[in-house]
């Protein structure tokens, strides 16, 4: 299963800076609107400490985390749906995504021009106006798509599956300055603007400085700014939550790996994410809970404690299940 998240927002709000931080892919971050001309796609591993534990336990050769794909497009402007700016052309890339990350400027910096060229005054009010512009453009783009679908006289079953932009879950990413990172009052006001969507607070500039750092170094660095949580991890977690996703794990000497599945997926469906043959020829799944495995220290000990279960076709997968599938092709 391929999780894809599209980054949208006005020009110059820090989308590419954030994208770079996420992927270290080197997308162009520059102080002029439309620095991003081609859509950039980056693949980001999903942080999962359980994999580290398994890797040690199995003395594994290779660790393969689950991944999330991020798509960075040019900023949308007012009138984007009518062809203003470059935004409309890129909305197609967002349609393929399952979730939207909406980046909103909430930092003050007179050197970085706002999309509307207005001076920075009231962060809260300007953030609200900016959000409204983007959401209106997404709405208008959907209306255009709907009109096109309706214009086609014959009902095409494929039309039922049009991925409308406004139906996608949105995670708001407020690009705050250093003070904003710990300003609870500002954060709760910004969160209120977008309720019930999830809001995450990040300083893209600081994230840029952290690129290339290890997870532990990031934690230390953020702590020195009084920040206890890692916004990039929060973003990926939020995407998992809003899309109702979870991970199961496979472990062995050759490879330890995390796989993304829907909550509520059955064992054969989970097997199908590894290989369609696994689903078709599914016989049973040998499953233990990650916590049991960690507590008992080895697969052998788990088995001896009677905590290794054999599950059949109707088993509903749980987050952190460590699985071995038995199948017949
Ligand atoms: N002060 C400050 N500047 C930032 C921050 N984030 C980004 N910038 C600067 O703002 C400018 C624009 O950043 P980009 O990441 O290119 O913005 P973008 O949203 O991708 O813009 P477009 O691709 O043109 O839509 C760059 O000069 C960044 O260095 C921030 O948190 N604080
Ligand atoms: Mg950009």
Q: What is the pLDDT of residues 162-221, one digit of tens each?
A: 789 999 999 999 999 999 999 999 999 999 999 999 999 999 989 888 877 877 888 899
The Cα–Cα gap between 269 and 257 comes to: 17
Task: Report which ligand 1 atom has the smallest distance to the Cα of 29.
Answer: 16
The Cα–Cα gap between 11 and 15 comes to: 8
107 CB within 6 A, ligand 1 = yes
pTM confidence score: 0.88
The Cα–Cα gap between 155 and 151 comes to: 10
Within 8 A by CB and 6+ apart from 74, the residues are 11, 34, 36, 37, 85, 86, 87, 90
Q: Which of 89, 112, 181, 232, when mutated, tests ligand 1's pocket best, judged by the most ligand atoms within 8 Å of its CB?
A: 112
Residue that the structure tokens 């997870």 belong to: 215
Residue that the structure tokens 């904003």 belong to: 180
The Cα–Cα gap between 93 and 251 comes to: 35
113 CB within 6 A, ligand 1 = no
The Cα–Cα gap between 92 and 74 comes to: 12
Task: Report which ligand 1 atom has the smallest distance to the Cα of 10.
Answer: 25
Residues with CB under 5 A from ligand 2 (ion): 15-16, 35-36
11 CB within 6 A, ligand 1 = yes
Measure 114 CA to ligand 2 centroid, in angstroms: 13
Do 250 and 256 touch, CB atoms closer than 8 A? yes
> Hey, whose CA ends up nearest to atom 5 of ligand 1?
205
Backbone CA torsion sign across 79, 148, 74, 206: positive
> Hey, whose CA ends up nearest to atom 14 of ligand 1?
14
**Sequential pLDDT tens for the chain (329 residues):** 678 999 999 999 999 999 888 876 555 566 556 666 666 888 888 888 899 999 999 999 999 988 888 999 888 888 777 766 665 677 888 888 999 999 999 998 888 888 888 877 888 999 999 999 999 999 998 998 888 888 876 666 666 677 899 999 999 999 999 999 999 999 999 999 999 999 999 999 898 888 778 778 888 999 999 998 888 889 988 998 889 999 999 999 999 999 999 999 999 999 999 999 999 999 999 999 999 999 999 999 999 999 999 999 999 999 999 999 999 98
Task: Report which ligand 1 atom has the smallest distance to the Cα of 18.
Answer: 15
What phi and psi values does residue 275 have, to the nearest 5 degrees? -160, 140
22 CB within 6 A, ligand 1 = no
326-to-278, 281, 291 alpha-carbon distances in Å: 8, 8, 22
179 CB within 6 A, ligand 1 = no
Do 273 and 286 touch, CB atoms closer than 8 A? no
87 CB within 6 A, ligand 1 = no
């Amino acid at each position: 299963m391929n999780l894809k998240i599209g980054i949208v927002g006005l020009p110059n709000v820090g989308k590419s800076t954030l994208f770079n931080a996420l992927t270290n892919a080197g997308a162009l971050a520059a102080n002029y609107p439309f620095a991003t001309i081609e859509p950039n796609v980056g693949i980001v591993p999903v942080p999962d400490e359980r994999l580290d534990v398994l890797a040690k336990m199995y003395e594994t050769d290779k660790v393969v985390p689950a991944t999330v794909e991020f798509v960075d497009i040019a900023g949308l402007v007012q009138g984007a749906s009518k062809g203003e700016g470059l935004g409309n052309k890129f909305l197609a890339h967002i349609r393929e995504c399952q979730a939207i990350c909406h980046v909103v400027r909430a930092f003050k910096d007179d050197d970085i021009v706002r999309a509307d060229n207005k001076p920075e005054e009231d962060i809260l009010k300007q953030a609200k106006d900016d959000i409204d512009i983007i959401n209106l453009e997404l709405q208008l783009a959907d209306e255009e798509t709907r009109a096109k679908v309706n214009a086609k006289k014959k009902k095409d079953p494929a039309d039922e599956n049009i991925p409308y932009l406004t139906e996608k879950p949105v995670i708001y990413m407020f690009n705050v300055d250093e003070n904003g990172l710990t300003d609870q009052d500002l954060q709760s006001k910004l969160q209120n603007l977008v309720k019930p969507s999830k809001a995450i607070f990040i300083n893209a500039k600081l994230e840029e400085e952290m690129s290339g750092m290890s997870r532990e170094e990031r934690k230390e660095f953020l702590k020195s700014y009084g920040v206890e949580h890692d916004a990039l991890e929060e973003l990926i977690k939020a995407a998992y939550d809003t899309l109702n996703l979870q991970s199961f794990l496979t472990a062995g000497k050759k490879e330890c790996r995390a796989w993304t599945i829907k909550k509520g997926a059955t064992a054969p469906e989970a097997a199908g994410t590894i290989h369609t043959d696994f689903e078709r020829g599914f016989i049973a799944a040998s499953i233990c809970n990650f916590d049991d495995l960690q507590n008992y220290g080895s697969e052998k000990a788990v088995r001896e404690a009677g905590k290794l279960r054999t599950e059949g076709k109707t088993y509903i997968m749980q987050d952190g299940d460590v699985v071995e599938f038995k199948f017949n092709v």
